[in-house]
Structure 1
């Protein structure tokens, strides 16, 4: 047996072990503390009588960009009793323009541009941290520059953007993307073992759990 053959056997063995470990992790029961966390203090929800799902994200987060297609597809599968909203998180003051951008688009009724903003940052390599750069890019998307700038600099938008920091603290958000269910539970690909697929399964589990708890 050559050294190269031995090397290949070791590589295949390690690969098989990793795959087997991953398969076991994916098939085991969903557990609190492993796949999701229960908040010590439940947070108030806005969607009274509904199941509220919040995605905490940051436009500049590559993991959020990577998770966006799966999350959007999951949202489309939810029933009428599920309300989904997004909350932008700025972990530093210099990142606050991203949160203002989100709420300015919401105020202008252009939340449909949300995935395009992420693509502009992660694929187009734009920073989108100055009002001029953001306004110039939005103009290419059919958004009036002056209307955007007015919304971006408004007291309402700035207050919302700054207020998300306290919400994130209340939910004990230490990374994004993180998904909160009914003000009680949080999960994410990172929490769920680094797997987007597992995170989606956990989200389904938590929505059903919240649905049963409402009865």
Structure 2
């Protein structure tokens, strides 16, 4: 029998209950492939050891912005069997400047410092943040090293060698078969999302996010068994 509950999962279930969300077991039993998550036909190449969870997102995505409220506290309490990272999608022209911003800040090791400010600027202050000068105007007062940002931004020119990192991220998103964001890729084998994990239910953004994390924990705890 597959393992459904651990102490770690219990913590998320408590948070879900506090948010008024029925527990997964009470609502519908164990998550089901094809309904609450998708299993890839073949596992993507993965490093041995910890199971990696990747959040594919876009700064300009309203659902990604809403997901932050439950995702970030969860990331701070990851168990030792799991590692986590963000990956910004590309694609449409309006998305690409945000993707380049993400990878510039990530390369500098400071994306986590400015993440909430970027989401707030786009979704609360309605800034486009599609030009480097606008990004600098927002982030410099918050401590951005402008000279380092400019050089890093230039190095990530998609037409040059610096664009390799962005290309790799795009290929990973394609390999996972994303059909929207936010999406969580789990160990190169599964995907789920707030909308996918709450299929058939009418949940708000907070509840849908909690449900996606519950499904993610279930898949990590039962990796390769379901």
User: TM-score surpassing 0.5?
Assistant: yes
Q: Give 1:89 deviation, angstroms.
A: 0.3
Q: Quick check: which has more Rg, 1 or 2?
A: 1
Look up the SS of the partner of 1:153 in the other structure.
Answer: helix
One of 158, 162, 165 as aligned partner of 1:160? 165
Matching residue of 2:209: 196
Partner residue in 2 for 1:170: 175
Q: Distance in 2 between matches of 1:37 and 1:174?
A: 11
RMSD between aligned alpha carbons? 2.1
**Which 5+ residue runs of structure 1 have no aligned equivalent?**
1-21
Matches within 5 A, 1:32-181: 32-46=33-47, 48-112=48-112, 113-155=114-156, 158-181=163-186
Deviation at 1:35, TM superposition (A): 0.5
Identify if the C-alpha distance between structure 1 residues 24 and 152 changes in structure 2 by more than 3 Å, giving closer, same or farther: closer
SS of match in other structure, 2:36 = coil
Give per-residue Cα distances to partners, 1:7-64, cap 9 Å, x unaligned: xxxxxxxxxxxxxxx9698611211111100011211124x31111000000100000
CA contact (8 A) 1:96 1:162 kept: no
Structure-2 separation of matches of 1:97 and 1:148: 14
Q: Where does residue 188 of structure 2 map in the other structure?
A: 183
CA distance in 2, matches of 1:94, 1:66: 20
Task: For 2:218 and 2:185, locate their aligned partners in 1 and report how far apart those are by CA, in whole Å.
Answer: 12
**Rounded Cα–Cα distance in structure 2 between residues aligned with 1:85 and 1:171:** 15
Contact 1:55 1:86 survives alignment (8 Å): yes
List structure 1 runs of 4+ shifted beyond 6 angstroms.
none
What is the CA-CA distance between 1:208 and the residue it aligns to?
A: 0.6
Of structures 1 and 2, the one scoring higher in RCO (CA 8 A, sep 6+) is 2
TM-score for both structures, normalised by structure 2: 0.77
Number of positions where the alignment pairs a residue of Structure 1 with one of Structure 2: 190
What's the TM-score, normalizing by structure 1?
0.81
Tell me, what secondary structure is at the counterpart of 1:85? Answer: strand
**CA distance 1:39–1:137, shift in 2 (3 Å):** same
Q: Which has the higher helix share?
A: 1
